[in-house]
Amino acid sequence: MKLAIYPGTFDPVTKGHLDILRRACRLFDRVLVAIAPNEGKQPLFTVEERLALIRPHLRTIPNASAARLDGLTVDFARARGAVALIRGLRAVSDFEHEFQMAQMNRHLDETIETIFLMPSHTFFYTSSQIVKQVCRMEATRLRQFVPPNVLRALRKKFPQP
């Protein structure tokens, strides 16, 4: 059984994230979504809230699960016997950061590969950060980018007049 880890902040999970997850699940026997605290990004949702937001969507993806990620991603992956890390690439602007991270992870553990997947063209410019920015102004326009449970959670964080 080949396990891949899909690490990230997922603050909040978007339809683009779920698209990448589904693609990864077609390539690997199991995919574990690893949700990191990432306090440097000043997340809107706690790790527990982010886990609760993604778990309903895992019911429709039988070989996917989710867990909290603490520490280095490669250590987390090695401890679980993973063979790969999944990273999403949207626009060219993602590439430099992702490439640097992949090279550092390779340096830390050369047995764990990094696999880059692109989402459907519909989600190329979707990011959690942009979703939160738009939601501060008008949540109703986000239906095409986040699942309904995430939209409800965002509306609680950013009540609309």
Q: Which of 15, 30, 128, 132 is catalytic?
A: 128
Cα 80 to the center of its chain, rounded Å: 18
Neighbour count for residue 25 (Cβ, 10 Å): 19
Q: Give yes or no: 17 in active site.
A: yes
- Answer yes or no: is 148 within a domain: no
- Give per-residue pLDDT as tens, 50-105: 999 999 999 999 899 999 999 999 999 999 999 999 999 877 667 888 889 899 99
- Answer yes or no: is 27 within a domain: yes
Q: Which of 17, 50, 87, 132 is catalytic?
A: 17
- Give per-residue pLDDT as tens, 143-157: 888 999 999 999 899
Distance CA 112, CA 42 (A): 28
Q: Which of 50, 90, 127, 132 is catalytic?
A: 90
- Answer yes or no: is 108 within a domain: yes
Q: Give yes or no: 97 in active site.
A: no
- Answer yes or no: is 145 within a domain: no
- Answer yes or no: is 155 within a domain: no
- Answer yes or no: is 41 within a domain: yes
Distance CA 145, CA 7 (A): 20
pTM higher than 0.85: yes
Q: Give yes or no: 90 in active site.
A: yes
Give residue 132's pLDDT: 83
Q: Which of 41, 68, 97, 143 is catalytic?
A: 41
- Answer yes or no: is 99 within a domain: yes
Q: Give yes or no: 107 in active site.
A: no
Range of the domain at 100: 3-123
- Answer yes or no: is 46 within a domain: yes
Domains identified in the chain, total number: 1
Give residue 54's pLDDT: 98
* Token output for 64: 């996917």
The CATH number for 94's domain is 3.40.50.620
